[in-house]
Amino acid sequence: MSTEVKVPTLGESVTEATIGEWLKQPGEPVAMDEPIASLETDKVAVEVPSPVAGVMGQQVVAVGETVNVGAVIATIEAGDGKATAPTPAPAAKEAAAPTPAAPTAPAPVEDSGDGVTTLSPAVRRLVLEHGVDPTRIKGSGKDGRLTKEDVLAAANAAPEAAPVPAAAPAPTPAANGAPGRREERVKMTRMRQTIAKRLKSAQETAAMLTTFNDVDMSAVIATRDKYRESFEKKHGVRLGFMSFFTKAVALAAHDIPSVNGRIDGDEIVYYDYLDVSIAVSAPNGLVVPIVRNAESLSFAGIEKAIADLGKRAKEGTLTMDDMTGGTFTISNGGVFGGLMSTPIINPPQSAVLGLHRIEDRPVVRDGEIVIRPMMYLALSYDHRLVDGREAVTFLKTIKEAIEDPTRLLIDL
């Protein structure tokens, strides 16, 4: 007897997804509610749990195929995993027999005896580029799966003169005589396709303009250094810069509400709350989960929310609700070393604040040249809704609040 596994409801307005990865192979035992597949939607990766306990049966669709909500993607057979179930990929079994070494690294990697874990295309590419052995890397992703960060960390920790496996043949020179020239064509993930469409749509729809300012980070750095240990001891979370900027955005949005609004047809929607989309790095790319009601949260509340979202983004456990909505976005390119940028609006929002790296620069204070830790701020906004004067005032308010954090406490 077999039980069908169907694509679950994925969230409001989401009707289809792409098979990103099979987490269980035919013949493997499956517990009830154990994830058997990962689906890539427009916003997040969603795991499909098994409705019953048994043995993984047929995989109806292949990795990379698009499926609709309610479609059958697999079957679960009755049993305890000892019986042989139908398998669409016998080559994986044949690979276990003693055969000559393959010329390239295999896509599946044997996992501590529990079966075969399939590397994602991005992870497989990094494994090949850096020549690391994936079986020797401890995965930090869901269920111990490898992420890009795991591979890069292993590559950086490996000895510089790590020898290339002797079984790997030398690359065949190209026709023009240049050795090692190769290219790889990889299908874009559904999330990457959606990001591309939304960002291009934002450029074509919104009248985008970016205004800049710089901010002296001395006061915030001194405050954080002074209260770092006591803050973490009391609240169980580190005091970072994002909470200062989130509170500053809430302060500025109170005076300039259009920056925290959106255009809906021929109407303007203003919000009396601030749901901040925080851009964080995830294994599948950049995602923007949301800190809800940021205007009413304390510094500790904001830091805890950001830490939780960042952790779940790395683990790939963000939900559709975590990604839906948002009235304003903060993007911190400074963590990657960016000096300045013109961030793109996250539609239907009307503005995004870009933060950048902090570096010591000479500035004039009281007629003297001094060295201060400075950061460039960039506010991209929709000029259809936000006037230039409002955008400049909004950014200036943030600058003043960061340079004098007391303003954040007395609402000035």
* HSE of 281, CA atoms in CB hemisphere, 13 A: 8
130 part of the active site = no
Task: Give 215-218's long-range contacts (Cβ < 8 A, gap of 24+).
Answer: 215/374, 215/375, 215/377, 215/398, 215/399, 215/402, 215/403, 216/363, 216/372, 216/373, 216/374, 216/402, 216/403, 217/241, 217/358, 217/372, 217/373, 217/374, 217/375, 217/402, 218/372, 218/373, 218/403
> What gap in Å lies between CA 339 and CA 353, rounded to an integer?
14
Tell me the H-state helices in 22-95. Answer: 91-94
CA distance 297 to 294: 5
CB 77 within 8 A of CB 107: no
Dihedral sign for Cα atoms in the order 198, 202, 203, 204:
positive
CA–CA–CA angle 193, 197, 200 (5° rounding) = 135
Query: Cβ distance 155 to 90 under 8 Å?
Result: no
User: Which amino acid is present at 127?
Assistant: V
**What is the length of the chain?**
412
State how far the Cα of 342 lies from the Cα of 354, in Å rounded to an integer: 7
Q: Is 251 left (phi over 0), alpha (psi -120 to 50) or beta?
A: alpha
Instruction: Say how far apart CA 153 and CA 225 lie, in whole Å.
Output: 29
| The one catalytic residue among 225, 255, 387, 404 | 387
DSSP state of 143: G
Instruction: Please provide residue 146's backbone torsions phi and psi, each rounded to the nearest 5 degrees.
Output: -75, 140
Q: Is 114 a catalytic residue?
A: no
Total Cβ atoms within 10 A of residue 211: 17
**Which is the catalytic residue, given 308, 383, 404, 411?**
383
Q: Which residues are registered as beta bridge partners of 268?
A: 263
3-state secondary structure of 110: strand
Which residue numbers are catalytic?
383, 387
